[in-house]
């Protein structure tokens, strides 16, 4: 029984992957030649660290239960995003005025059209129809729409400073408002209306594994979650110059860098959401996806805003007209798709088509 438990909660790869990532990063600091094979190893280590982070976050979630499990992963993923954006902004020789906006906007589009769309499609194909609690999803989308409009669209229409910028007072005010809205959402999700975010029992949902992680396993996973996430940050930062060079070589817009960074950052959340949808736990899947979208914009933008004000950096937040149309269309479609508490593959297909259009227009604007 003990051996089986260790196999379930502490596979060797989940511990070895982030440790190997840190060893490779240390080798780079010691002057290992910068060539294609080494870049390939760094990329592999980055993916391994992301998968390890997913595993350890799921262990913690299994221990503390929903919706706290989704919150742990959302905050962890957002920590990666914030650390990565700020570290790249601190790198000399790069124009990072639009990096935070591009990364956050990409994260929102990837989540609400890509991750949610694929989750609904997988669930629809496998189970024909899936259900979820309408109250929790409605609360998430309400806060997400409000913060998105305040941070990504409104800066284009202010008068004190020509858009797409806020002046420092406006930026600080919107940052505080975003934190208040996100804090209110957390209060509703975890305390006052927690029942809105719990998966309703269904016969198609497999029963939870009887082996619940003990304190030792949870602490080990918490430690290696931090090790994995920090490995993702340093490796992504290390690979960023090569990523930017590759984007320049193919002649794509620099905003594609933000899309790729967001995809790497959201990989743990995306895999967990798809896994939940594939086991007919759509409520958990939506908690993960929409919770990550809220954490991304509700925590990343305020943090970067305060850093920008303190360092005197310009911060371009407003998205262009094309992006605004796509973003509003995405919000409208997801609101319509999730308005009844039931979904089929059709809603997922529509969202994925919008995601494909977004990716196409990012590469070929």
Does an H or E element contain 127, and which? helix 116-127
- Can you list the domains of the chain with their CATH numbers? 2-363 (1.20.1420.30)
What's this model's pTM, rounded to 2 decimal places? 0.83
The length of the chain in residues reads 365
| Alpha-carbon span 53 to 225, nearest angstrom | 5
pLDDT in tens, the chain (365 residues): 343 343 445 688 888 989 998 988 888 777 666 677 778 888 888 888 878 887 887 788 778 776 677 777 777 777 777 877 777 777 666 667 888 898 899 999 999 999 999 999 999 999 999 999 999 999 999 999 999 999 999 999 998 888 799 999 999 999 999 999 999 999 998 888 888 888 776 555 554 444 677 788 888 888 888 888 888 878 877 777 777 777 778 777 877 877 887 887 788 778 889 988 999 999 989 998 998 899 889 989 999 999 899 988 889 999 999 999 999 999 999 999 999 999 999 999 999 999 999 999 988 88
* Distance from C-alpha of 64 to C-alpha of 72, rounded to nearest angstrom: 10
In Å, how far from its chain's centre is CA 253? 22
Residue identified by tokens 């995405």 is 330
Angle at 299 between CA 242 and CA 97, to 5 degrees: 45
DSSP bridge pairs for 316: 165
């Amino acid at each position: 029984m003990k051996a089986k438990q260790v196999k379930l909660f502490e596979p060797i790869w989940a511990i070895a992957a982030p440790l190997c990532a840190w060893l490779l990063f240390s080798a780079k600091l010691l002057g290992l030649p910068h060539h294609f094979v080494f870049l390939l190893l760094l990329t592999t280590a980055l993916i391994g660290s992301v998968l390890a982070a997913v595993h350890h976050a799921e262990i913690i979630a299994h221990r503390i239960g929903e919706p706290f499990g989704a919150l742990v992963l959302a905050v962890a993923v957002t920590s990666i995003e914030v650390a990565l954006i700020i570290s790249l902004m601190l790198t000399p020789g790069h124009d990072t005025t639009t990096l935070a906006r591009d990364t956050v906007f990409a994260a929102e589009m990837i989540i609400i059209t890509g991750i949610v769309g694929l989750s609904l499609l997988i669930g629809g194909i496998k189970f024909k129809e899936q259900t979820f609690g309408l109250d929790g999803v409605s609360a998430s989308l309400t806060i997400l729409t409000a913060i998105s409009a305040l941070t990504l669209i409104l800066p284009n229409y202010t008068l004190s400073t020509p858009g797409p910028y806020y002046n420092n007072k406006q930026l600080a005010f919107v940052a505080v408002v975003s934190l208040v809205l996100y804090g209110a959402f957390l209060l509703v999700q975890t305390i006052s209306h927690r029942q809105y975010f719990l998966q309703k029992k269904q016969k198609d949902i497999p029963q939870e594994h009887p082996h619940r992680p003990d304190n030792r396993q949870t602490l080990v996973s918490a430690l290696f979650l931090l090790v994995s996430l920090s490995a993702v940050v340093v490796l992504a930062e290390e690979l960023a110059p090569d990523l930017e060079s590759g984007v320049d070589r193919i002649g794509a817009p620099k905003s594609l860098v933000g899309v790729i960074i967001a995809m790497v950052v959201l990989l743990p959340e995306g895999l967990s959401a798809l896994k939940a949808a594939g086991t007919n736990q759509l409520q958990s899947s939506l908690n993960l996806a929409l919770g990550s979208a809220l954490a991304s914009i509700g925590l990343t933008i305020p943090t970067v805003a305060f850093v920008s004000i303190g360092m005197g950096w310009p911060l371009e937040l407003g998205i262009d007209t094309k992006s605004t149309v796509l973003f509003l269309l995405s919000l409208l479609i997801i609101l319509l798709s999730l308005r009844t508490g039931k979904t089929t593959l059709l809603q997922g297909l529509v969202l994925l088509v919008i995601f494909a259009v977004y990716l196409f227009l990012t590469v070929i604007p």
